[in-house]
Amino acid sequence: MNYKVVTYSESETIELAENIESEKFPNMVICLEGDLGSGKTVFTKGFAQAMEITEEVTSPTFNIIKEYTTGELPLYHMDVYRLDGKVDDLPIEEYYTKKGVTIIEWSDTIADYLPDKRLDIKIKNSDDDENKRTIIITPHGKKYEDLCEAVL
């Protein structure tokens, strides 16, 4: 089942992230997909803020993986856009079991390396309103289905 949420500002996207964060659990994996400027990093910042992470969260475009450890759980923030689907030299799959939350931007580019149980979030820009986002959330696995039922 897919869930559709429409946001009309960055603060509404952050609020959605905070609501999802309220149901977080160790080894949670969130896969973000969307065009440049669609709000993937904004979502991650909102999620991190709700986790009480004190470091500034920025896009890990050139780092590939950033680890934030000051919050309630570790947050592993990945941007795999530049990998072109080649993750052989990176231990990406190890992060799925490190007892934190993994958020992957551009996850569709590494589909073969994603866990079966995860939360897919696709963010689409509006052609009519630069602030409007249509967000499609697809849970894979019972924990993620329960999360969606609780907060959406």
What does the alpha-carbon distance between residue 56 and residue 68 come to, in Å, rounded to a whole number?
9
Output the pLDDT for position 136: 98
Q: What is the model's pLDDT at position 81?
A: 87
List the domain boundaries for the chain. 3-151
pLDDT of residue 59: 81
Span 99-127, pLDDT tens digits: 999 999 999 999 999 999 999 999 999 99
Model pLDDT, residue 63: 82
CATH superfamily, region 3-151 = P-loop containing nucleotide triphosphate hydrolases (3.40.50.300)
Cα(111)–Cα(119) distance, rounded to whole angstroms?
A: 13
Three-state secondary-structure class, residue 82: helix
Residues of the chain with pLDDT below 50 are: none
Cα–Cα distance between 134 and 123 in angstroms, integer? 6
